[in-house]
Structure 1
Amino acid sequence: MENRSSIHYLSLIVPIFKQEKTIVKNLRSIKKVLDRIRYPHEIITVVDGVVDNSLKKIKRTNIEGLKTISYMKNQGKSYAIQLGMKKARGDYVMFIDAGMEIDPNGISMLLEHMEWYDADIIVGSKRHLASFVKYPLSRKILSFGYFFLVKLLFGIKIRDTQAGIKIFRKEVLLKVLPRLIEKRFAGDLEFLVVANDLGYTRIFEAPIKMDYSLGALTSAATLSSILGILVDTLAIFYRRNILGFYRKKI
């Protein structure tokens, strides 16, 4: 096994869109968790379209180590995350969804799993046996169906590719980011597919705590987003299996 340094710098990315009701509380909760871990860290908030008061509220939080990126027009969650990744200084790069749906204490759990498994990527998973998830039946059915679709199309063993908390080694990002196309709905899946195809196969799941009701005000699980994920997933399959796009030299 490769001997990697036990001293890491963590960059945590928080993509934000229409989160003015919860963002201050959310960021303070995240900061409390980060202050308890042993790693030096930075928080990078990416405001994906200045369409409400989220940016103003972030600027008034005065949280140490907080950096903010913003732009006027909404580009999509995956675009925001990828932009944050490109600005990250850490050798560990994580993102977590804003909106309070995912308990930020999961940050520590994913970091521990990175160490335990000497992993390339750790994926927070609603379907991990140790996860605590309060989730409507309709969303459970959609998640279950999407898992089988992904397994059929790509052969990936990860049971939940879409939960909004993941951590990556920086060297994986450097290889994968230049190949990514998706900017909105299926960016997480595309990243995992490309990383796996490039030989970064040490991808494991970690348990999370998720309460859908806490994020209901800002949840993106609408009919349009569900259709968007489906279309983007099929586009990834086409690029990978028909065009061989992701294996081309860059």
Structure 2
Amino acid sequence: MANSNNHLLSVIVPSYRQAKTIVRNIKRLENTLKKIRYPYEIIVVVDGFGDGTYRAVKKIVSPSVKALVYQKNQGKGHAVRIGMQKAKGDYIAFIDAGREIDPNGLSMLLEHLEWYKADVIIGSKRHPVSIVTYPLSRKILSTGYQLIIRVLFNLKVRDTQAGLKIYKRKVLVKILPRLLVKKYAFDLEMLAVARHLGFKRIYEAPIRLKYNLGDLTHASTLNAIYHILIDTAAIFYRLYILRYYDRKK
């Protein structure tokens, strides 16, 4: 679509072991982006040479799609940060590589970003207009975790963990050099540090999401819960005890 808006949108797509689906998912994302009024770039960050994901992405014929890869799996948070550091956009988003989150939600997030003059817009499972399909047990765990977040970090949002967010570049310039979490709670660290550094215009927007839990086992779920709680405690300690994030980078 022809564009009269000068703001470049960068969309980071962290990917791990998705050789069979990544091409289809990126094409779906690009078809969505072609309909919006922003010029765009897509940066796919392959989180380690685990399979043929990088080779699959390199076969995509589009001047707007770039692929980055590194040797060893580091975690989704690390992949997002690498992509954001390479992004050229004024608005920098990330979206999960799978088909769980509808990429059409990017249009709604962009509208909210400009309407609210926001620093950050986050896709939220708990927005009243969101359409979300996931099991009751997951809802209970998620609700409990968000209550902890509100108490510990005073974030005035109802969902920190959905894999669709947009940041203004000025926010990332300040927070990226300070971030440490590579895996489970990187979303929380980004939001908590942004708010701590004075970027308080953080708002939620609706999304469409359908969880695919086919690959999750009880053991992997418990492992994820354990590590996200450890990461959360570490962020609190660095933020309020060590004052680590106050140090100039």
Above 0.5 in TM-score? yes
SS at match of 1:222: helix
SS at match of 1:27: helix
- Do 1:186 and 1:233's aligned partners in 2 also have CA atoms closer than 8 Å? yes
SS at match of 1:99: coil
| Structure 1 letter corresponding to 2:223 | S
SS at match of 1:36: coil
Partner of 1:14 in structure 2?
Answer: 13
Distance 1:218 1:142, change over 3 A: closer
SS at match of 1:50: coil
Matches within 5 A, 1:90-129: 90-129=89-128
- Do 2:5 and 2:38's aligned partners in 1 also have CA atoms closer than 8 Å? no
- Do 2:5 and 2:37's aligned partners in 1 also have CA atoms closer than 8 Å? no
SS at match of 2:27: helix
TM-score (norm 2): 0.94
| Structure 2 letter corresponding to 1:164 | G
Distance in 1 (CA, whole Å) between partners of 2:181 and 2:10 is: 22
**Residue 223 of structure 1: how far off its partner (Å):** 2.2
SS at match of 2:203: strand
Matches within 5 A, 1:76-155: 76-155=75-154
1:193 equivalent in alignment to 2:192: yes
- Do 1:103 and 1:209's aligned partners in 2 also have CA atoms closer than 8 Å? yes
SS at match of 2:67: strand
| Percent of matched pairs sharing the same residue | 55
**Could you list the runs of 5+ residues in structure 2 that have no partner in the other structure?**
none
Partner of 1:228 in structure 2?
Answer: 227
TM-score (norm 1): 0.94
Distance in 2 (CA, whole Å) between partners of 1:112 and 1:64 is: 25
Partner of 1:73 in structure 2?
Answer: 72
Distance in 2 (CA, whole Å) between partners of 1:218 and 1:91 is: 36
**Could you list the runs of 5+ residues in structure 1 that have no partner in the other structure?**
none
| 1:56-90 CA distance string (max 9 Å, x none) | 21112213311110011100100000000000000
SS at match of 2:248: coil
**Residue 157 of structure 1: how far off its partner (Å):** 1.2
**Residue 217 of structure 1: how far off its partner (Å):** 4.6
| Structure 2 letter corresponding to 1:43 | I
Equivalent residue pairs, number: 244
Distance in 2 (CA, whole Å) between partners of 1:218 and 1:70 is: 25
**Residue 21 of structure 1: how far off its partner (Å):** 2.7
**Residue 228 of structure 1: how far off its partner (Å):** 1.1
Partner of 2:156 in structure 1?
Answer: 157
1:39 equivalent in alignment to 2:28: no
Distance 1:216 1:22, change over 3 A: farther
